[in-house]
Amino acid sequence: MKKILLLTAISSSMLAGCYSTQLNMSMGNMRLITSSAAPQDVMDFATKTCKDDFYEGASFLSKAGKEYRFKCVKAEEKEVLIPIPGTTITGEAAIATPATEPK
């Protein structure tokens, strides 16, 4: 039993050492996320967080150090979702991005 607990603790700390992403603040439709992960991982996390709260997706606002600010967008707002520069919005939310809108 002690070996299992030790093994679990070691593997958890090894995974946590790779990078961390956490939601620091959620006020209305605004999200503040602190992360040392790659920008695409942060964008995916923000999109999932907003979708879990019944929004269409996350729209990138700004970055300061390791802090990313996002606005969660509702479908009826008909607002274009903006990804972090150099990333893409994956999943169903990608339909709302300007690069994939039909012309």
- SS3 per residue for 61-97: EEEECCEEEEEEECHHHCCCCCCCCCCCCCHHHHHHC
Q: Taking 60 as the threshold, does the pLDDT of residue 3 lie above it?
A: no
Predicted local confidence at residue 43, as pLDDT: 95
pLDDT tens per residue, range 13-60: 344 456 788 888 888 899 999 999 999 999 999 999 999 999 999 999
Rg of the Cα atoms in the chain: 16
